[in-house]
Amino acid sequence: MTLADLNSRFGIADQLTFIDGPNGLVFAEIDNALGSAYICLQGAHITTFRPKDQVEPVIWVSKFAKFAPGKSIRGGAPVCWPWFGAHATESSFPGHGFARTVMWEVTHSAALPGGETEITLALLETEQTHAQWPHKTRLELNVIVGKSLKASLNTSNLGDTPVQIGEALHTYFQIGDIEEVQVTGLENTVYLDKVGEVARKTQSGAITFNGEVDRVYVDTTATCTIVDARLNRRIVIAKTGSRSTVVWTPWTEKADKMGDFGPDGWRQMVCVESANALENGVTVAAGETHRMTVEYSAEAM
Ligand code: TA6
């Protein structure tokens, strides 16, 4: 669909416009009285979100992100699906699944009565995706942009046998400085610590950061909060349909190796990812739909 077709079918005056981005990538630009966001049609990738009452965006995107076809974008809210992390058996398959690097199509848009803007995208399956995922499923992302950002990642099983998925909204949140924030909500929760010797531990108190952190918290439906003293705000991360939360900062060495954080971009982000990972993988029965939802909001401290 051309840009003109997208705008005539799904554009909304003064709220939603489709624009050309770098390297032929197409973006939905959402800007209403309550908030603004950009969503790349590749990966249905929300690249940033800012409530109008916030100076700083709530969602971080790297100034050195590679916006290129087939490449994951550093930052935003990458859709990890239909597996999280490395594929269970195929090391050649992409980490975190293929959803974030393939094209999606717009299927719906609406101006909501409360002033929010809604858009729905669906993953476009190809021979390549079927080669990695030989199941009859449909994946949709519904996004509502307002004072908060709501997203719902919906997996429908169109086949006649159950399918097992892993998933995450691998969201990078904008913060003042990683050494001055803490994440609350996961106290006393068991996690897999992926830094150094992989081990299962239990969270004691709030999460603070003074080095690389890469943890998959399991069996948790908790709302998490990023308490940011420097930006004098809290970012609240509420979720449903998710039993894992991943907390990640690459710190300097890993960020440098990844090459798309820039010199110190890692200081201004922390990932708090609503997920279903490890033993929290989801079995979607034939004919059923599994929904994982998040709501991101910012409030003054
Ligand atoms: O969610 C944390 C994590 O699994 C880390 O281990 C690190 O690999 C990160 O995701 C980023 O992965 P990416 O494939 O986006 O570079």
Q: Does 216 have pLDDT greater than 90?
A: yes
Cα-to-centroid distance, 34 and ligand 1 (Å):
31
Q: Which of 45, 87, 96, 170 is labelled catalytic?
A: 170
Q: How confident is the model at residue 191 (pLDDT cuts 50, 70, 90)?
A: very high
Q: Does 123 have pLDDT greater than 90?
A: yes
CB 156 within 8 A of CB 285: no
Q: According to the CATH classification, is domain 3-300 in 2.70.98.10?
A: yes
Q: Which of 116, 140, 167, 273 is labelled catalytic?
A: 273
Tell me the pLDDT tens digit for each residue of 237-272. Answer: 999 999 999 999 999 999 999 999 999 999 999 999
- The reported pLDDT for the residue numbered 165 is 98
Question: Among 74, 91, 96, which residue has the most ligand 1 atoms within 8 Å of its CB, making it the best to mutate?
Answer: 96
273 in active site: yes
Rg (the chain; Cα; Å): 18
CB 152 within 8 A of CB 123: no
pTM: 0.98
Query: CB within 6 Å of ligand 1 — which residues?
Result: 72, 85, 95-96, 170, 194, 214, 246, 248, 258, 271, 273
CB 220 within 8 A of CB 207: no
State the amino acid at position 37 in one-letter form.
Answer: A
Query: HSE on the CB side for 214, CA within 13 Å?
Result: 12
- The reported pLDDT for the residue numbered 1 is 87
105 in active site: no
* Mean pLDDT value of segment 130-155: 98
Q: How confident is the model at residue 203 (pLDDT cuts 50, 70, 90)?
A: very high
Q: What percent of the chain has pLDDT over 70?
A: 100
**Residue 237, CA distances (Å) to 34, 43, 224, 229, 263 in order:** 18, 21, 5, 17, 27
Domain range list for the chain: 3-300
State the amino acid at position 67 in one-letter form.
Answer: F
Q: What percent of the chain has pLDDT over 90?
A: 100
Tell me the pLDDT tens digit for each residue of 7-16. Answer: 999 999 999 9
Mean pLDDT, the chain, whole residue set: 98
Tell me the pLDDT tens digit for each residue of 43-75. Answer: 999 999 999 999 999 999 999 999 999 999 999
DSSP for 16-58 reads EEEEE-GGG-EEEEEE-SSEEEEEETBTTEEEEEEETT-SS-S
